[in-house]
């Protein structure tokens, strides 16, 4: 009885074991099903990826076609604009402006004489600067200018150690127009008038050259308020081809020459900018300041040092041998960048020109940030500069200047579309 029972138990165990095992045929079927499922899954994934790729390519194609059509439309508008330049330039000017034809002719001449393409974008950039800087006045008046002038004169008197009674005696002398220098300063309304007083005073008063030579407080002028120092440098490289009367300083205060030098400062140089706002920032802070500020941002990220993004790469524009914060940060990365300290100094000294962006230092800093962070940094940044001027009654920055001019530029472009 027990033997029979054991046999039944063994038989049951055998049946149970066989029930959990697949036959060779079943195993092949399961493997085939799994292979088919994997193949289907791979095929679905490939189809999904291909669909995403096709959609991306189609989207890119549509965008490229849109950019092409926009470029064609802009080229057509620019061609039409050039054909009737003066007439079309008048349409870009603010409503209600007097002597629109005269302003349009002088803007066109400024573009042509500087070899700048006569496009709507460029013309509107000039218009925007004029609006911001002078409200379309060749020699704009400055509020409280006599008070500002006297404050500067007193500062220079103390700095030079000139006795007050000696200066007072000189200022009470009669000038070329019959008034005393004091009376003329009290009556000035524009920077040109003040500049003329300084020039007259320097040339006539016995110690005028000692006291004021190189210290004329009027450093910008004309409808675009262009830097007189820039204009003097530009005149040495590419003289103004229009009517010439007097010195470069005198010319800046006239509409034609003021527009010529201002346009040169704004547009007559190649920079890696994809937006006009960076040129507006450069107009305020100096050529290539936006490019240099972007370099400082990249260098700050690479070095871990906080740098002021002001676009000034060397102290005193390179005249001061002491290293700037930018130079110190670059020196700290010398080994990783593969440049020596001498090469760093040499390359930073190119910061005022186009050559800097072709330098080893410039390329190495951006490459290091890309390699270590994977980030692609911008090649232009609006500089962070707090502007100082006796003419300002409140705080003002380069960013605020650039933003305001950019808004005026967009307004001009809208006028161009409306025709």
Q: Which residue pairs, CB below 8 angstroms and at least 24 apart, start in 360-367?
A: 361/330, 361/337, 362/295, 364/337, 364/338, 364/339, 365/295, 365/298, 365/299, 365/302, 365/330, 365/333, 365/337, 366/295, 366/298
Percentage of the residues of the chain whose pLDDT score is greater than 70: 87
Q: DSSP letters of 42-89?
A: HHHHHHHHHHHHHHHHHHHHHHHHHHHHHHHHHHHHHHHHHHTHHHHH
Instruction: Report the alpha-carbon distance of residue 264 to residue 243 in Å, rounded.
Output: 17
Task: Give the DSSP letter of residue 316.
Answer: G
Lowest mean pLDDT, pick from 240-244, 266-270, 298-302: 240-244
Question: Would 394 be classed as within a structural domain?
Answer: no
Are 289 and 368 members of one domain? yes
268 pLDDT above the threshold of 90: yes
Q: Could you give the dihedral angle defined by the CA atoms of residues 43, 47, 48 and 52, in that order, rounded to the nearest 10 degrees?
A: 150
**DSSP H helices in 275-397:** 277-285, 289-303, 325-332, 334-337, 341-348, 360-373
At 175-216, the pLDDT tens digits run 889 999 999 999 999 989 998 888 888 777 766 665 565 667
Question: Would 29 be classed as within a structural domain?
Answer: no
Question: Would 253 be classed as within a structural domain?
Answer: no
- What's the Cα-to-Cα distance from 43 to each of 31, 35, 52, 54, 104, rounded to whole Å? 18, 12, 14, 16, 65
Question: Would 7 be classed as within a structural domain?
Answer: no
Q: Which of 173, 198, 221 is the last residue of a domain?
A: 221
Question: Would 359 be classed as within a structural domain?
Answer: yes
Confidence of residue 36 (pLDDT cuts 50, 70, 90): confident
Bridge partners, residue 220, by sequence = 227
Q: Which of 221, 238, 270 is the last residue of a domain?
A: 221
Task: Give the DSSP letter of residue 340.
Answer: -
What mean pLDDT, rounded, does the chain reach? 86
Q: Print the domain residue range for 156.
A: 145-221
Lowest mean pLDDT, pick from 253-257, 349-353, 384-388: 384-388
Question: Would 292 be classed as within a structural domain?
Answer: yes
218 pLDDT above the threshold of 90: no
14 pLDDT above the threshold of 50: no
At 244-262, the pLDDT tens digits run 778 899 999 999 999 999 9
The mean pLDDT of 81-89, rounded to a whole number, is: 70
- Report if pTM > 0.85: no
Helix (H) or strand (E) holding 227: strand 226-227
The mean pLDDT of 217-241, rounded to a whole number, is: 90
Instruction: Report the alpha-carbon distance of residue 379 to residue 57 in Å, rounded.
Output: 27
Q: Which of 178, 203, 221 is the last residue of a domain?
A: 221
Question: Would 180 be classed as within a structural domain?
Answer: yes
Looking at the structure of the chain, the number of domains it has is 2
At 135-152, the pLDDT tens digits run 999 888 888 889 988 988
Question: Would 99 be classed as within a structural domain?
Answer: no
């Amino acid at each position: 009885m027990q033997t029979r029972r054991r046999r039944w138990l063994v038989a049951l165990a055998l049946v149970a074991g066989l029930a959990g095992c697949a036959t060779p045929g079943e195993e092949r079927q399961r493997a085939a099903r799994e292979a088919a499922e994997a193949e289907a899954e791979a095929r679905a994934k490939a189809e999904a990826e291909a669909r995403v790729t096709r959609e991306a390519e189609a989207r890119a194609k549509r965008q490229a076609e849109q950019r092409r059509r926009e470029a064609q439309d802009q080229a057509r508008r620019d061609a039409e604009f050039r054909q009737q330049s003066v007439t079309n330039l008048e349409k870009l000017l603010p409503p209600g402006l007097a002597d629109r034809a005269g302003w349009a002719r002088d803007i066109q001449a400024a573009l042509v004489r500087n070899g700048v393409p006569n496009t709507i974008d460029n013309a509107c950039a000039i218009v925007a600067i004029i609006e911001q800087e002078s409200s379309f006045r060749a020699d704009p008046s400055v509020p409280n200018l006599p008070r500002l002038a006297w404050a500067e004169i007193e500062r220079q008197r103390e700095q030079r150690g000139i006795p007050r009674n000696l200066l007072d005696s000189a200022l009470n002398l009669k000038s070329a127009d019959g008034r005393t220098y004091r009376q003329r300063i009290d009556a000035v309304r524009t920077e040109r008038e003040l500049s003329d007083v300084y020039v007259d005073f320097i040339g006539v008063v016995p110690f005028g050259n000692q006291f004021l030579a190189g210290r004329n407080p009027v450093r910008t002028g004309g409808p675009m308020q262009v830097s007189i120092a820039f204009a003097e440098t530009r005149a040495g490289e590419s003289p103004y081809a229009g009517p010439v009367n007097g010195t470069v300083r005198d010319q800046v205060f006239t509409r034609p020459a003021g527009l010529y030098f201002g346009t040169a400062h704004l547009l007559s140089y190649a920079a890696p900018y994809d937006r006009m706002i960076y040129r507006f920032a450069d107009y305020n802070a100096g050529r290539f300041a936006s490019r240099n500020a972007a370099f400082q941002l990249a260098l700050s990220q690479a070095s871990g040092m906080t740098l002021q993004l002001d676009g000034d790469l060397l102290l005193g524009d390179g005249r001061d041998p002491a290293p700037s914060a930018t130079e110190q940060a670059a020196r700290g990365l010398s080994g990783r960048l593969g440049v020596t300290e001498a090469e760093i100094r040499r390359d930073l000294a190119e910061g005022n020109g186009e050559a800097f962006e072709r330098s080893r230092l410039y390329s190495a800093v951006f490459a290091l940030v890309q390699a270590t962070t994977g980030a692609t940094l911008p090649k232009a940044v609006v500089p962070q500069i707090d502007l100082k001027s006796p003419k300002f009654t409140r705080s003002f920055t380069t960013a605020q200047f650039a933003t305001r001019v950019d808004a005026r530029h967009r307004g001009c472009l809208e006028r161009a579309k409306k025709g």
